[in-house]
Amino acid sequence: MSTAKNHHNKGESLVGLHALIAQLDLKIPRPFVRSVIAAGTRKTRVTDSGILEQYSKAYQPAQCLAGHLRFALRYEPVDLGVYHAVFAQLGKREIEPWIQSEPNGLFARRAWYLYEFLTGTTLDVADLTSGPYVDLLDPKIHVVGPANRIRRQRVFENLLGNKQYCPLIRRSEKIEAGIAKNLTERARALVATVDPAVLKRAVRYLFTKETKSSFAIEGEEPSKDRTERFVAALVRADKFDPTSKQSLVELQNAIVDARYAQKDWRDIQVYIGETLPDFSEQVHFVCPKPGDVTSLMNGWMTMTGQMLQAESGVHPVCAAAAAAFGFVFVHPFVDGNGRIHRFLVHNVLSKTGFTPQGMVFPVSAAMLRDMVAYDRSLEAFSEAIAPFVEYSLDAEQKMTVANETADLYRFFDATLEAEYLFDCIEETIGRDLNQELNFLKFFDAAMKAVMGIVDMPNQRASLLVRLIHQNKGKLSKAKRESFSELSDEEIGRIESAIKAAAQQFQPAEPTSS
């Protein structure tokens, strides 16, 4: 195999996947993890733009492509996009001699399987007939899928997806911390303390809140009919089949304006952007070419179905991130992709039993409260691929993509999106769910106390509770006339009762009743 060149940067030399990209001059997104050999001890440096793994000179691989491949397969997270590009550039003649020389080698077997998996080309190497099986992805480095036994290389193929569509999630410290928090148990413990009637009212509100928040992210205020249709879809999220193209089409039809309902995947090139004051377009994200959508969505549906299997072993939040963000990056429809993307979070979490039965975690509310963080989770992907998409816009802002881009969407690192989703779910449990339940407990206690002082119509009692609570435990002078039938003594007792209920349950600002 040909000799790799060293890349020096302040005494550092690149190794692994970044070295292969530099040596072969590949025009592809760089992996989040970069490895270097440098003087000193083993170090890890984490920044917003990536992770730098510094290895001592004792780790220096042979300065050839096989040496860097071996290093990458031993120490680095797998990046299928990089391996696909490397294998396409090298071809069979470069890879085959290495595999033939040590077909039983741990890292050679991984390279052998990945080469045949990604290129569809069979190497001239006989099937292995003995020896232990080895994991394709190291479970200490990756979130892995169910292990499929591959007899030819004696490999346990444990990818999240398939050749047509396969994101990868690194087992980062934040992912590990998110899993360790047992968020589903935290939610179950919270709802277990609530009267079923109160919980039912809270759930009804949370479904509506999620719907309105999801539309608000798109800058829309849905009609009553569209709101009800989306709420109905959320209520049945555990029954929705994301592996069915027809189901996805019907969902799109239900949540968009009827004029933009589709019968199939989109057949035009679309992009996300904004119109500038001179009416030119600033492009933020170029979606896959229409000719690639069918293959990507077929792979996406297969991957999602695999992760939803009870035996998949994929953590539900990681599965939801891979499915939901993967869907919006493929953007199979002209309209409705964002709302479906957020719906899919609930679909996966409910089908895997992560969400308590009949509940919804209003993640869209958390996203809406901090749109900067939500945009950052999307831009982590869009900005990474932007330099590698060659496009042009005509006078009518119609886009044409000139180069092959399918692999940019087919193989992507979904780690940051999974980390973000863990944060959203933790916030919705600690804030939205907790606050709504507390408010309903407070409201019921306050209503009971008020009715014990004055037997008044429910609607007036409800209004009085709200006005006093909103005004920090006092009925304002401006509103006092509205309750002229009540004596000052009665108002004083009611204010004291509402304050006592508020101290007991510490409700946030009222959101429903």
**Average pLDDT of span 411-430:** 95
The residue with tokens 């996406």 is 300
Task: Name the DSSP letter for residue 146.
Answer: P
CB of 82 within 8 A of CB of 37?
A: no
CB of 82 within 8 A of CB of 172?
A: no
pLDDT at 2: 37
Vertex 394, ends 391 and 395: CA angle to 5°? 150
Query: Tokens at residue 371, please?
Result: 């749109």
Query: Following DSSP, what letter does each residue of 22-41 receive, concatenated?
Result: HHHT--SPPPSEEEEE-SSS
| % of the chain exceeding 90 in pLDDT | 75
- The number of angstroms, rounded, from the C-alpha of 348 to the middle of its chain's C-alpha atoms is 11
pTM for the whole structure: 0.89
Would you say residue 509 has pLDDT above 90? no
Give the range among 105-114, 154-163, 352-361 with minimum mean pLDDT. 352-361
Strands 33-37 and 50-55: parallel
Would you say residue 423 has pLDDT above 70? yes
Query: Tokens at residue 487, please?
Result: 């004596």
Alpha-helix residue ranges (DSSP H) falling in 397-433: 406-410, 415-427
Q: How far apart are CA 484 and CA 477, in angstroms?
A: 11
Residue 31: what are its φ and ψ, rounded to 5°?
A: -60, 150
Mean pLDDT of the chain, nearest integer: 91
The residue with tokens 């060659």 is 390
Give the range among 193-202, 383-392, 456-465 with minimum mean pLDDT. 193-202
pLDDT tens digits for range 121-140: 999 999 999 999 999 999 99
Query: Tokens at residue 324, please?
Result: 């939901």
Which residues, listed in sequence order, are joined to residue 47 by a DSSP beta bridge?
Answer: 50
pLDDT at 455: 94
Q: H-helix or E-strand containing 157? A: strand 155-157
The sign one gets for the Cα dihedral 34, 415, 370, 469 is: negative
Q: Which residue, 220, 486, 217, is CA-closest to 341?
A: 217
Query: Tokens at residue 134, please?
Result: 């080895």
